[in-house]
Structure 1
């Protein structure tokens, strides 16, 4: 492994998991954050969240690769530079269609891949905590992690030979449970659960400790507001 800032990058690409990370065009991403951050900072934070999420995922020892499904050229370039593979959102039919598209893109290359969907808004994500989740997920055909609010989903996995069958959006915890996926509930995975949609969510992520891209975006905004 090599170290870049505070993130140790996994250079051994023999992990068993391939992750799919969906990302809206930055102009539309994280719209509920506008009230807390303003319209200019919001898209920059959406990209920073995704950068910290992808960097942490790629640093995870059990992750082989990360596929980002996005049509945003700026985000695609930034996340590709971190080591992600960028797949255009050709379905353009919402979150779950994008995840299914990313799953196909992975298994077209590696039919025997174990696949997991991961939200792009996990700026406090810790590689060790994601590893813990993936170790639990490996025990089940399909498994998921609910968000910090206990309503949505931040992670969904499908083992070799299983379809992901994503049902993200709104009260997705109940839908994933109903679909037969097993909920992963070990202690010590707060960073995998803390997605960011609102100002309160951002404050909670800051309490956990966000990655360098998010921290840098927020730090750059302070002098701008003081001018």
Structure 2
């Protein structure tokens, strides 16, 4: 896209995050934090600005070390995304605002750059199963209209968003389960996740 791109990234309270990520020797809060930090670190070089929506003090403190802005938002994924979108849209009425999931620990900057370059209208990137959504982009100056949740790929298609289906596997590989994490490890985990997930990803 020719317009500047800003991203809103929702990060759950760590104690409530990744409830499906179960298994021996798995520290869910530590992994959720590592996922978010690796995802955001990979995204930063690809966009103008990242705004994390979180009220978790541990997340806020770590984001501050990355120079990433955060703001507390309402409960609910779509509600927090609409809140973050409103903050970013108020700063620039002509930008592209994107919603990026915080559980892409193998994300490579180049994959995000390629997806952003391909998008021309309101668009979304489906997850590797093709049913969920990892990235949603507004059109320049347009609404985000997030519809995340079960079946979000179909919901975003129905709302008029165009699917982004290029060769960027690390952008499509979100992690909800231990099996997802093992598959993400094959793509190459970010440094924080690799250090935290060594027992399960090894």
TM-score range (shorter-chain normalised) is: over 0.9
> 1:36·1:199 contact (CA, 8 Å) conserved in 2?
no
Give the alignment of 1:78-227 within 5 angstroms. Answer: 78-89=62-73, 91-92=74-75, 94-137=76-119, 139-140=120-121, 142-187=122-167, 189-219=168-198
Report the alpha carbon displacement of residue 71 of structure 1 after superposing the two structures with TM.
1.0
Supply the RMSD in Å over aligned alpha carbons.
1.4
On the 8 A contact 1:107/1:113 being kept in 2, the answer is yes
Structure 2: distance between partners of 1:57 and 1:16? 14
Decide which of 27, 42, 50 is 2:15's aligned counterpart.
27
Q: Equivalent residue of 2:52, what SS?
A: strand
What's the offset of the Cα at 1:98? 0.5
Q: Deviations over 1:43-73 (max 9, x none)?
A: 100000000000000022xx00100001111
Q: How many residues align?
A: 198
Structure 1 segments, 4+ long, off by >4 Å, are: none
Could you state the TM-score of these two structures normalised by the residue count of structure 1?
0.84
> For the pair shown, which has the larger CA radius of gyration, 1 or 2?
1
| Separation in 2, partners of 1:177, 1:24 | 26
State how far apart, in whole Å, the 2-side matches of 1:101 and 1:207 are. 35
Counterpart-to-counterpart distance in 2, 1:36 and 1:203: 14
In 2 relative to 1, CA 205–36 (structure 1 residues): closer, same or farther, beyond 3 Å? farther
Between 1 and 2, higher relative CO (CA 8 Å, sep ≥ 6) is seen in 2
Map 1:44-55; keep pairs closer than 5 Å.
Answer: 44-55=30-41
Structure 2 length-normalised TM: 0.94
